[in-house]
Amino acid sequence: MKEASEYLLLSVQQVPPQQRLRSLAADDYLLLALALLWSLYHLRSRRTVSKAEIWYVRPQRSIQGLGSSSGKSQSRDIASKLEQTGARVLILWSSQSGTSEEFASKLGQELKSIFQLSTLVADPSEYDLDSFNGIPKSTIVLFFMSTYGEGHPADNGLSFMDWLTKSKASAFRTVPYAAVGFGNSTYTFYNNVIDRVEAVLAAAEAKQIFPTLRLDASRKNSYEGYLEWKSDIFNTFRALLDLKEPEFDFVYSHTATWLPLSESEENLRGNSDSAVRLSQRSDNYEALALPIRHAERLIDSEIQTCLHFEVDLSKLPELKYRTGDYILVSAPNSSRDVTDLLELCGLATKRADPLEFKSSGSPWPTSAPSIVTTAEELLTSAVDISSSIPRDLAGKLARYAPTSEAQEYLLRLSQDKNMFAKLGHVSVVRLLKHIEPHRQWAIPVVFFFEFLPRLRPRYYSISSSSVQQPRQASVTISIKHKAMGQATRYFLSKQEEWEAFGKSGQPQNRPDHGQDPSRDDERIPTIAATIKPSNFRLPLASVTPVILIATGTGIAPFRAFIHERARIKQMQGTKAGKILLFMGCRTPDDFIYQEELREIQNNIFNLDEAQFQIITAYSRPNEADVSERNSRGKCYVQDKIRTYVVEVLHLFLAENAALYLCGHAAMAREVGKVIGDAVMPRNGESDKTWTELKEAKRKQRKWQEDVW
């Protein structure tokens, strides 16, 4: 396969020999030799190997002890597990990003803490499917199911959904149930999975005890709908199970014990990875300190800031990336927020004292038996103290209010959604300071461990090409000043840290790709991150045309794609497949990387639009080119797709181009509609046929989306 060898040769030829020797480790040489042998084998056999999907990783498994495997074998018989735990409620969840798992885990925790009701929270992929036939008919089953992509189940729910459909849900016949769907209405098949679950359960005559809730991730107030559903389902449980709960008296699923310093030193040494286990990491991805080699502000306006970072991988030979991969960033809470919360709760003097958390019968069965850490580490790296809290958490905080007035205020706040909404973005730190800034709150540290959401790593597309710079990766971040999140605050602080580092006399010129960027300076700023594989990749054959459709920082992976195609053309001098780039943003000033992309277009592709064409769409006509406005006086990417639809369809259908979308999910939906509307009359096809065609293209990796 010429195309396979092409990438392997380029990865070696792209830099001078001296630099290659410095950057390549022994395993690189071994991998290169094996890859070349593999390519030769397939040249002879004329066979192709299908690429396996990346491992399914649940980023929310960040704290061993809250949802992560303890390493002990457990029964795969769900009926036996229900009998062992005495659980009267079973919550089955299926999640791609971790949202529905977190909701399920929190609900299981609340059922135990408020009602002392034994609950089993379960991932259906961890149990033998036939064992579901043994579920007692008295067990209440709650389904928390996410819809992923174009109406598909999450990875851990694929087998379960297939089994549920084929078995016609016979295991749940006459079983009482309720359901919550997690979806995004910007996608065509919104909450398709929970619709399928509901239909098959209805056919099996399962007993629905409460109407199904469909949560919409595209709506900011969707959590309010969940709170109303939860309140009603609690009332349903009270009636069905005759439950009682005392005011303010709830039970924790873990105990927190301060260890004597004499004992704790050895415990901490024996648990030297406790900080890691409490930090944000996925099952197979641990954050590393990646040195920053360059940082700059691409945009710096009153509305937004756009940052570009280059991180050095040269001293981490085991850490490699491919063009299209993600950088997984672990952003800690700010030290100021941590200090404020410790002081408000009277924990400042104990911030570094060893603290042991032990499970006391967690509602999910895979809790680790013990974790040794510190209060400071917990509040810095494990739980999210900076994001806006849910309204119901105010009611839980009322138990620890320092005054009766504060307690009454928190209870009213938890019950009045309009009153809570007026507070705007309110983190737990801000709320406590707002109510009683000068009094000490008697909130135990276990409260934060159990009730605050987990810090999750953030995914960013790598905006550099591994063919062009294999030991240095770049990341692009957009920051909206009115709505800064945990990760964006972190990156902004790193940008300021880099700028201060540069002013101290350290060089901060952007290194050329052929230079060794390493500098032996322990003071150089770092980013806590690692690399995560992706399937969002260029076609292996460089002659395949590509259609790239982006908005905003969605240009990041396409910058990498374009640099890679340009490098291939430089090295081989052969004609590559056409690059057709559609870029949408507010104004020309918001088109990041425009100058370097135009330079590539001019110098490498010689302004030949048959090889590389850039088409822009600006949504602010008063400040931009107004030649292609829609009826509202604005121009969006889908408008330009409509204008160039003949060329798009020719590339997509006749030349079998690979089409990529990166940016807002609403943009991807609208682009899909425009192309679908054009395909149907062209080929005399129905809407169903277009859906099937798009799905076939998706399976061939000729239609790929990375949207949010």
Q: Which CATH number fits the domain that encloses residue 115?
A: 3.40.50.360
Are 559 and 692 members of one domain? yes
Statement: residue 20 has pLDDT above 90: no
Residue 7 within a domain: no
Q: What confidence tens digit (pLDDT) does each residue in 546-603 have?
A: 999 999 999 999 999 999 999 999 888 777 899 999 999 999 999 999 999 999 999 9
695 with 589, same domain: the answer is yes
**Distant-in-sequence contacts of 292-295, Cβ < 8 A, 24+ apart:** 292/494, 292/498, 292/524, 292/525, 292/526, 292/527, 293/472, 293/511, 293/517, 294/508, 294/509, 294/510, 294/511, 295/494, 295/495, 295/498, 295/499, 295/508
Say if residue 654's pLDDT is above 50: yes
| Whether residue 348 is found in the same domain as residue 374 | yes
7 compared with 550, residue with greater pLDDT: 550
Q: Is 1 within the bounds of a domain?
A: no
- Does any domain span residue 553? yes
Please answer whether residues 538 and 439 qualify as being in contact, where contact means their C-beta atoms are separated by less than 8 angstroms.
Answer: no
The last residue of one of the domains, among 176, 211, 241, is: 241
SS3 204: coil
- Would you say residue 190 lies in a domain? yes
Domain total of the chain: 3
Higher-pLDDT residue of 244 and 361 is 244
pLDDT the model gives residue 53: 30
For residue 332, the model assigns a pLDDT of 94
Most confidently modeled range among 49-53, 450-454, 491-495: 491-495
pLDDT digits (tens, 9 = 90+) for 103-128: 999 899 889 888 888 899 999 999 99
Q: Do 172 and 94 share a domain, yes or no?
A: yes
Q: What is the pLDDT of residue 191?
A: 93
Dist. CA 370–CA 357, nearest whole Å: 6
CATH number of the domain that 341 lies in? 1.20.990.10
Confidence band, pLDDT 50/70/90 cuts, at residue 94: very high
Given a contact cutoff of 8 angstroms between Cβ atoms, the answer to whether 119 and 89 are in contact is: yes
* Same domain as 184, residue 269: no
pLDDT (tens digit per residue) in 263-292: 555 555 444 444 444 443 344 568 899 999
Model's pTM, two decimal places? Answer: 0.77
On the question of pLDDT at 102 being above 80, the answer is yes
Question: Do 226 and 269 sit in the same domain of this protein?
Answer: no
The answer to whether residue 273 is domain-embedded is: yes
Instruction: For residue 520, count CB atoms less than 10 angstroms from its CB and return exposed for 0-12, middle for 13-18, buried for 19 or more.
Output: exposed
User: Is the pLDDT at 690 greater than 90, yes or no?
Assistant: no
Percent of the chain scored above 90 by pLDDT? 57
CB-side exposure of 447: number of CA atoms within 13 Å? 19
Average pLDDT in the 384-410 region? 93
Residue 490 lies in a domain: no
pLDDT at 42: 43
The CATH number of the domain holding residue 576 is 3.40.50.80
Say if residue 310's pLDDT is above 80: yes
Confidence of residue 675 (pLDDT cuts 50, 70, 90): very high
Q: Which stretch of 48-57, 392-401, 631-640, 686-695 has the lowest confidence by average pLDDT?
A: 48-57
Mean pLDDT calculated for residue range 535-539: 94
Does 31 or 575 have the greater pLDDT score? 575
Within 8 A by CB and 6+ apart from 410, the residues are 394, 395, 397, 398, 401, 435
Considering only CA atoms, which of 396, 326, 393 is closest in space to residue 97? 326
Q: Within this chain, do residues 191 and 279 fall inside the same structural domain, yes or no? A: no
Q: Are residues 179 and 271 in the same domain?
A: no
- Of the two residues 581 and 21, the one the predictor is more confident about is 581
Q: Which domain holds residue 625?
A: 546-707
Q: What is the pLDDT of residues 458-490, one digit of tens each?
A: 999 999 999 999 999 999 999 988 777 889 999
181 and 140 both lie in a single domain: yes
Same-domain pairing of 274 and 232: no
Domain boundary among 241, 268, 298: 241
Q: Which of 242-251, 381-390, 585-594, 612-621 has the lowest mean pLDDT?
A: 242-251
pLDDT of residue 16: 43
pLDDT at 45: 37
Asked whether residue 174 is assigned to any structural domain, the reply reads: yes
Across the range 620-629, mean pLDDT stands at 55
In terms of domains, do 106 and 223 share one?
yes
* Mean of pLDDT over the chain: 82
Please state, for a pLDDT cut of 70, what percent of the chain lies above it.
78
Q: Please report whether residue 521 resides in a domain.
A: no
Higher-pLDDT residue of 150 and 301 is 301
Same domain, residue pair 440 and 565? no
pLDDT digits (tens, 9 = 90+) for 155-202: 899 999 999 999 999 999 989 999 999 998 877 788 999 999 999 999
Domain boundary among 418, 451, 484: 451
* pLDDT, position 436: 92
Contact in structure between 676 and 687 (CB atoms under 8 Å): yes
